[in-house]
Structures are given as C-alpha cells and as structure tokens.
C-alpha cells in the first residue's frame, strides 16, 4: 500500500492560536469594538496573572479573576458579566482559551444582550479573525507576508521613522525537500537573532523583510552587520542585506515614501549587495546619494586649485578644518586666527596649504589653532585633519582625500579633535567602508594601511574579517595568523581563527581558539557584556555539539541567566536540554526542550529530542510519536529522525510505517547497521522470516550498543 507523504510546510494557517491574539491584537480589537459599540475598550487576557497586573490590588480584582476562571474553564456558558465589564471566551484548544475583556460597557447592554446573539457574534468574529490571519501570514514559514508589510508601511497613522531590511538567504541547489529544510533553518535563525520590536516578513524565494524603528544614521548598519555575522557563524553560505529608511527628519529624500518605494529601494540595495561578496550589505541612501558619504572624494575644482600650489613642491602639508556643528562654518571660526599658510576655502570648510614645513610643526600649529578656537567659544568648535606629502606611496592628488580620512580619525577624539593621517586613519576609513557594506573599498584601505605600518595588528585583523566575508577564506586565515605572530594575545585574531575552524567543521579546534580569546577578554578587561557573553554562548553550543555536555552546561547556564530576557537566550534552550539529556537528567532536559518549543514551535531538533525523552521515560507514547513524526516532516532527509521515529513505531506495533522509515535511514552509513538490525526485527514481527534473515545477514559487524539486539535476532533467526 502506497502512503502519501506530508507536504513540507512549517505553518498551519487553518486555525487560530494564542499568539494570533498578540500579533493581530490591534486589528482584532477594532473588529470586536465594531460588534460591541457600547464598550469603550477591549483587551485580550491570556491568564489570571495578567488580570492581577492590570487591576492591581483593587476590590474588584478577586471577583474578576474568579469570573475569568469560570469563563475560561467553561463553567459559565458564552459570557461573563461583572458591573460594566463583559468577558467573551475564544476556545482555541481543550487547554487554551483567550478571553476578550470589554470595559465600560453600557450596563443596559450587559443586562439585555442575549446568549444566542453573543454566540453568533463570537462565531462571526472568529471566522473574521481566521480570514485575517490567513491573508497576512505566509503558509510555509508562519511569518507575516507581503500583504501585511504593505499594510504597515502604507498605514496613514504610521508616522514614526522606520528602517526596512530586505534579507536574501539563497539556498544551495537541491531537491524541494532540501530547499524547504533550508527555509526552515532560515526562519529559526531569524527568530533567534532579530531584536525585540522588529517585525519579520517572508516575501518568497528566500527573501525576508525586517521592519524596525529607525534610530540614527550612526546605527543604521548595526542590525544588517549583526545579521550577516550571525548567519556566517551559523554556517550559511550566503546572505545579502539591502536597507532603506523613511521618516528621517534630516533627510528630505526619505520623507513621504510609499511602502512600495521603500521596498523597491531596499530590494535595489540588496541586488547591489549580491555583487559585493557572499556576506554583504548595501544601504540605498548611500548608494543613491554618494555625495552624502563622509569620505566622498573632494571636488575636482578644489583639486585644480590645490594643484597650482603643489605643482613644483617636493614637500608640503595640507590641513582641513571642519566645524563640529552644521550651524556654523569652519571658515567663519578659523580664518580670523590664521597668520600663516595659504587659505583655500571649500564651501563651509577651510583648507590651509603649507610649503616645506615638517609634519610635527604643522601638527602642533593645528592643535594650537583648534584649542584657541575652543577657548574663545566652547559652543563653536572645529576639528582638523592633517596630511603631508610625501607619505608612503600616496600621490599628491590623494592628499586632500587623506585629509578627510584624518578628519574621520579625529572624530574619535570628540569635538575639537585633531589627527595626522597615518595607518590608523586608513583602518578607520576602511571600517567606514566596511560598515557601509563596500567590502572592496574596505580591503583597499586596509592593504594601504599595512603598507604604512606592516606590524599593525588591527589592520591585519580587519583585513582578515573583510576577506572572510568576501569568501576568500585562505587569505583571511593568513591575515589572522600574521596578527597572532605579532600579538599572541590578539583577541580578534584568536576569535576569527576560531570562526575559521568552525567554517571548516573543526569544532574542537574552534573551542580551543574561543577559550584563548575568552581568556584575553578577561585579562585585558574588555567589554564583558558583549564579548565575554558571546564567547561563552558559542563555546557552550559547540561543547554540546561535540558531546562535552558538562562543559556545555558550565558555560550556557550562567550565560542564560544574564541574557534570559532576549530571543538569543531562548535559542540556546535546545542545547541546554540536549546536554541534560546526554547527562541522563531527563526531567531537566524535558523542561528546557519544552522551553525551546515555546520560543519557536517548529524547532525540529527540540521536537525530536523531546519525543525521545517522552519515549524513554514512558511519559506517553502518543506524545513521543507525534513529536517525532512532526520533526521528520520538518526535516524529511534527516536519517537520525527517521530511525528514532521507526523505533517508536516498532514499539507501538506500527510495523509498515516503521519499515518505511528504516529504509529511509539506510541512506546514512553511520546508521546503516542499526537500521538493518531493526529491519530484521520488523520483518520478524510480521512473520516474514526469510526477509528478516536477509536483512540480518547484511550486517557485517555490530557495535556494543546493538549487541543485545544482534544476539536476540541471531538466536531467533539462526537458532
């Protein structure tokens, strides 16, 4: 008999769940208030604690809690009334009920409304809720779809600044099931690393849209770069991110955009990102308006004016003054105090040319001018970048651009900063291009910086990170090894060498590098809240995956206590549960695996392992069977899932189903012997002695774990 196979969809849009009343709470509330117009407000209550928090210690709270208990337990049919409050239950499952609490309802309405009318309203509203969910949720991923994205972006009441990230995570070519498995992994990873408050949508073809409140120009690349770093660590081969913003008060070109325009811009930026490397990012604002970039090349007219000055010169310096506030110009502040040098004005900035003076002399002069301007009026300060010729292999025409890089360097010192262009300036300019997603320009800056200072550890590390994102892993590894030769306690070199070992699936070596990097964090007193916690998490996860489960718990449990309110923290619940299971602590394993599933209900790893715990602890064969079946549906090519599901089916006398899964698990060389033994046992149970003997004879050798089964089968089949 041929049995159908389940379609590999993640989400089930055919019913309402409790989370729907949270995700669509505002829309659901509007629908209900239109049906009960005499109420002033309605909110959804999920448990008694919410009621107690909502009403505090008022006299009515105990009565309302008792009424909520009666309504949610179905002790009261259809509704619950208390003064001007009305409760209408929505039964989702036998265990789950969400109660709509109406407040300030007309008492006459509460008195006269009929149960039949309320029942009809509830059924009509429930159908409306379900249709809304089906229209706004993607079937395959369970995420919001493009219709929901347009609804948010084109809402006339939405006035807050927003940033849209279009994230493409291409799959390697393969079967439909492999592609579906990749999509599932993408969703799980996004759910883990996207910050609270961000809204994730699936647009199709492995393209996601993340909508988040826009914070500032300085932080606009932060989420994109953290996404890229996270997905690279998780073993994905490619990710491209394009961003666009709307509603920035300081940028006219982003205000008044429609939702379609915002999506088109972010999509265009993501197409540019695909050309920048396997792990890449592009912001549409900088791509479409390069003149706004802080390191935009100086105007050609300015270069021509300066060329007349340096044409015959063998040695000169150039100082670029810029105001620290757009409300005034550097020209106004600095010009009155200049008694030497040739002045070259550039819009609101001021450049001063010096012929023949030494670098140290000009740097000291510049610092005095900047300090003098600050002393006169502390509210009107200027910063300055100094660049001299000759320096390294730079041409004369590059000196004005080097001044801009020195200005970016000076910005690290705050207002009234001064910096002389050097290798550090090139590291900073490279970091600016890196943050913008322009990896090619970043590499050029880092390489030129190393020409100026071959023993600069930071430049070696920065170049290595950028090359790794471009897929040039061998060159990146050479950079990190060179940095480690220069400084054996270089945190970035150790950390990135660990990531390199992780990319090559050498997890034990990765742990060793990460431990050395962690020791550097502690010794050097770095920012523990970021670096130390991230390393502890990675070491703990890798320890769990390599079988050192006690080490995993030693790292993950303290880490989880410090980060338990974040989504990232819930992402390690599976590894903690897995470690407890391996250490023969099934009850603790069950607790953490259930927690992992509450965080993401389609986590196939947690489903599978929780099913094993239920089965081995005899907590319910039906639950174990259901969990393992669902995990195999989510990842149908996972041979471990197939084998473990078959064992439970054998126990439940579901022999044809078990045989089908055992044959699927034969694809794995590591599991083949065990699968053959269980196939022999299955055919023996259904009375097909010849087939059972045939599968038994295929077993070439047996390990200790299967020795009892082997001996029993040998006794039954060969006497």
155 pLDDT more than 50: yes
What is the model's pLDDT at position 460?
A: 96
Q: Are residues 30 and 126 in the same domain?
A: yes
User: Are the C-beta atoms of 576 and 563 separated by less than 8 Å?
Assistant: no
Give a yes or no: residue 526 inside a domain: no
Domain co-membership, 84 together with 131: yes
Confidence at residue 702, expressed as pLDDT on a 0 to 100 scale: 64
Which string of b and e fits 137-156 if b means at least 16 CB within 10 Å? bbebbbbbbbebbbeebeee
Number of Cβ within 10 Å of residue 647's Cβ equals 19
**pLDDT confidence of residue 253:** 44
Per-residue tokens: 332 = 């106004």
Measured CA to CA, the distance from residue 447 to residue 445 in angstroms comes to 6
Query: Strands 418-420 and 382-389, how do they pair?
Result: parallel
Strands 85-91 and 349-355 come out as unpaired
| CA 508 to chain CA centroid, nearest Å | 25
Q: Would you call 281 helix, strand, or coil by DSSP?
A: strand
| Structure tokens belonging to residue 181 | 């498995």
Looking at residue 364, its pLDDT comes to 93
Q: What sign for the dihedral angle of Cα 277, 283, 288, 294?
A: negative
| Local confidence band at 690 (pLDDT 50, 70, 90 cut-offs) | confident
Whole-number Å distance between alpha carbons of 631 and 608:
5
Q: Is residue 684 part of a domain?
A: yes
Which has the minimum average pLDDT: 124-138, 177-191, 349-363, 580-594? 177-191
Does residue 349 fall inside a structural domain?
Answer: yes
CATH of the domain at 670: 1.25.40.10
Say whether both 406 and 336 belong to one domain: yes
- What angle, 0 to 180 degrees and rounded to 10, lies between the N-to-C axes of helices 491-503 and 507-524? 160
Over residues 188-202, the pLDDT tens digits come to: 889 888 888 889 999
**In the structure encoding, which two tokens stand for residue 484, read together?**
């480690």
Assess whether pLDDT exceeds 50 at residue 251. Answer: no
Inter-axis angle of helices 115-136 and 146-153, nearest 10: 100
The per-residue pLDDT for range 464-494, each reduced to its tens digit, is 999 998 889 899 999 999 999 999 988 889 9
Query: Does position 249 have pLDDT exceeding 50, yes or no?
Result: no
Q: Which of 136, 155, 189 is the last residue of a domain?
A: 136
Tokens 């208990």 appear where?
A: 69
Mean pLDDT of the chain: 87
Total number of residues shown for the chain: 719
Q: 251 with 343, same domain?
A: no
Identify whether residues 341 and 214 lie together within a single domain: no
Same domain for 275 and 306, yes or no, is: no
CA dist 642 and 537 (Å) reads 30
Domain count, the chain: 4
What percent of the chain is predicted at pLDDT more than 70? 92
| Mean pLDDT comparison of 4-13, 395-404, 591-600, highest-scoring range | 395-404
Token pair for residue 401?
């651009």
Q: Is residue 319 part of a domain?
A: yes
d(CA 457, CA 485): 9
Same domain, 157 and 247: yes
Instruction: Kindly report, residue by residue over 400-456, the tens digit of the pLDDT.
Output: 999 999 999 999 999 999 999 999 999 999 999 998 889 999 999 999 999 999 999
Tell me the C-alpha distance between 122 and 31, whole Å: 11
- Rounded to whole angstroms, the Cα distance separating 38 from 508 reads 66
Q: Is 687 exposed, middle or buried (CB count within 10 Å of its CB: 0-12, 13-18, 19+)?
A: exposed
Q: Please write the tens of the pLDDT for every residue from 564-621.
A: 666 677 778 999 999 999 999 999 999 999 998 888 888 889 999 999 999 999 888 8
pLDDT mean over 72-81: 77
Give which of 382, 384, 386, 392 is closest to 357, Cα–Cα.
Answer: 386
* Residue 248 backbone dihedrals phi, psi, to 5 degrees: -75, 125
- Work out whether strand 207-213 and strand 316-323 pair parallel, antiparallel, or are unpaired: unpaired
**In contact, 667 and 643? CB cutoff 8 Å:** no
Indicate whether 472 belongs to any domain: no
Is the predicted pLDDT of residue 332 greater than 50, yes or no? yes
Q: Are residues 95 and 194 in the same domain?
A: no
| Cβ–Cβ under 8 Å, residues 596 and 573 | yes
DSSP states of 446-509: HHHHHHH-TT-HHHHHHHHHHHHHTT-HHHHHHHHHHHHHH-TT-HHHHHHHHHHHHHTT-HHH
Express each pLDDT in 624-667 by its tens digit.
999 999 998 888 888 999 999 999 999 999 999 999 999 999 98
pLDDT of residue 254: 47
Please choose, from the candidates 541, 533, 551, 532, the residue with its C-alpha nearest in 3D space to the C-alpha of residue 573: 541
* Phi, psi of 321, rounded to the nearest 5 degrees: -95, 140
Strand-strand pairing, 279-283 and 239-246: parallel
Q: Is residue 351 part of a domain?
A: yes
Lookup result for tokens 């006269």:
112
Cα separations (Å) of 401 from 300, 319, 359, 364, 398?
11, 11, 17, 21, 5
Q: Are residues 66 and 153 in the same domain?
A: no
Domain containing residue 108: CATH number: 3.30.70
Preceding amide of 325 cis, omega within 30: no
Q: Is residue 657 part of a domain?
A: yes
d(CA 645, CA 682): 13
Mean pLDDT, residues 207-218: 84
Do both 186 and 61 map to the same domain?
Answer: no
**Section 38-42 average pLDDT:** 90
Tens digits of residue pLDDT in 254-284: 456 788 899 999 999 999 999 988 999 999 9
Domain extent at residue 348: 300-421
Mean pLDDT over residues 345-351, rounded?
84
| Average pLDDT score over residue span 342-364 | 89
What confidence tier does 76 reach under pLDDT thresholds 50, 70, 90? low
Domain boundary among 421, 455, 475: 421
Residue at a domain's end among 111, 136, 161: 136
Residue with tokens 């239109």: 34
Q: Is 339 exposed, middle or buried (0-12, 13-18, 19+ CB in 10 A)?
A: exposed
Residues 177 and 126 in one domain: no
Return the H-helix or E-strand segment holding 558: helix 549-563
Residue 354 lies in a domain: yes
Q: How far apart are CA 284 and CA 244, in angstroms?
A: 5
Asked whether residue 553 carries a pLDDT value surpassing 70, the answer given is: yes
Helix (H) or strand (E) holding 512: helix 507-524
- Nearest CA-CA partner of 273 in 419, 165, 427, 130: 165
- Residues 283 and 307 occupy one common structural domain: no
> Does residue 337 surpass a pLDDT of 60?
yes
Sheet holding 80-82, edge to edge: 41-45, 97-103, 85-91, 80-82
CA-to-CA distance for 105 and 475, rounded, in angstroms? 70
The residues, ordered by sequence, that sit 6+ positions from 212 with a Cβ below 8 Å of its Cβ are 162, 163, 165, 195, 197, 198, 199, 223
Neighbours of 529 (CB within 10 A): 10
325-334: average pLDDT: 85
Q: Which CATH number does the domain housing residue 218 bear?
A: 3.30.70.270
């Amino acid at each position: 008999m041929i049995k159908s196979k389940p379609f590999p969809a993640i989400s089930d849009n055919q019913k309402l769940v409790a989370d729907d009343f949270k995700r669509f709470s505002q829309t659901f509330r509007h629908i209900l208030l239109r049906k009960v117009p005499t109420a002033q407000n309605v909110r959804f209550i999920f448990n008694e604690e919410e009621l107690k928090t909502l009403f505090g210690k008022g006299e009515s709270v105990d009565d309302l809690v008792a009424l909520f208990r009666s309504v949610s337990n179905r002790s009261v049919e259809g509704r619950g009334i208390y003064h001007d409050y009305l409760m209408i239950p929505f039964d989702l499952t036998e265990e789950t009920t969400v109660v709509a609490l109406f407040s300030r309802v007309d008492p006459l309405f509460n008195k006269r409304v009929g149960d039949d009318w309320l029942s009809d309203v509830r059924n009509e509203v429930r159908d409306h809720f379900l249709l809304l969910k089906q229209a706004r949720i993607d079937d395959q991923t369970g995420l919001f779809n493009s219709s929901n994205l347009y609804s948010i972006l084109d809402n006339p009441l939405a006035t807050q600044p927003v940033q849209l990230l279009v994230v493409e995570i291409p799959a390697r070519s393969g079967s439909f099931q492999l592609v579906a498995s990749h999509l599932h992994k993408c969703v799980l990873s996004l759910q883990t690393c996207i910050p609270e408050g961000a809204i994730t949508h699936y647009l199709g073809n492995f393209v996601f849209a993340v909508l988040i409140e826009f914070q500032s120009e300085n932080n606009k690349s932060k989420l994109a770069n953290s996404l890229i770093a996270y997905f690279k660590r998780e073993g994905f081969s490619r990710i491209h991110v394009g961003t666009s913003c709307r509603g920035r008060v300081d940028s006219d070109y982003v205000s008044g955009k429609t939702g379609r325009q915002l999506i088109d811009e972010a999509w265009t930026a993501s197409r540019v990102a695909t050309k920048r490397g396997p792990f890449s990012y592009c912001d549409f604002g900088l791509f479409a308006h390069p003149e706004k970039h802080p390191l935009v090349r100086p105007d050609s007219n300015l270069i021509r004016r300066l060329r007349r000055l340096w044409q015959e010169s063998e040695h000169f310096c150039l100082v670029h003054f810029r105001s620290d506030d757009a409300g005034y110009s550097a020209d106004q502040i600095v010009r009155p105090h200049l008694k030497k040098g040739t002045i070259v004005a550039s819009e609101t900035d001021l450049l001063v040319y010096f012929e023949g003076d030494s670098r140290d002399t000009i740097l000291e002069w510049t610092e005095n001018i900047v300090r003098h301007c600050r002393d006169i009026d502390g509210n009107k300060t200027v910063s300055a970048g100094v660049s001299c010729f000759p320096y390294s292999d730079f041409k004369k025409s590059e000196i004005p651009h080097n001044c801009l890089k020195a200005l970016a360097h000076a910005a690290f010192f705050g207002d009234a900063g001064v910096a002389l262009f050097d290798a550090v300036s090139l590291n900073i300019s490279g970091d600016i291009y890196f943050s913008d997603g322009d990896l090619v320009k970043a590499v050029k800056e880092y390489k030129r910086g190393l020409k100026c200072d071959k023993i600069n550890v930071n430049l070696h590390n920065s170049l290595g990170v950028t090359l790794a994102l471009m897929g040039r892993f061998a060159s990146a590894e050479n950079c990190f090894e060179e940095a480690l030769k220069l400084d054996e306690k270089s945190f970035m070199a150790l950390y990135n060498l660990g990531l390199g070992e992780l990319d090559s699936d050498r997890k034990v070596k990765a742990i060793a590098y990460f431990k050395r990097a962690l020791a550097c964090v502690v010794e050097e007193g770095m920012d523990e809240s970021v670096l130390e916690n991230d390393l502890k998490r990675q070491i703990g996860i890798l320890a769990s995956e390599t079988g050192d489960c006690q080490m995993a718990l030693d790292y993950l449990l303290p880490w989880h206590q410090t980060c338990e309110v974040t989504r990232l923290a819930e992402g390690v619940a599976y590894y903690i549960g897995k470690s407890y299971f391996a250490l023969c602590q099934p009850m603790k394993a069950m607790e953490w695996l259930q927690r992992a599933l509450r965080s993401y209900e389609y986590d196939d790893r947690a489903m599978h392992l929780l099913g094993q715990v239920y089965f081995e602890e005899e907590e319910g064969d039906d639950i174990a069977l259901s969990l393992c079946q669902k995990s195999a549906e989510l990842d149908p090519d996972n041979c471990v899932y197939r084998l473990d599901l078959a064992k439970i089916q054998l126990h439940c006398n579901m022999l044809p189903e078990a045989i089908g899964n055992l044959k699927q698990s034969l694809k794995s060389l590591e599991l083949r012997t065990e699968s053959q033994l269980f196939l022999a046992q299955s055919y023996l149970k259904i009375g097909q002695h010849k087939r059972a003997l045939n599968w038994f004879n295929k077993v070439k050798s047996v390990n200790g774990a299967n020795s009892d089964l082997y001996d029993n089968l040998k006794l039954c089949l060969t006497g």
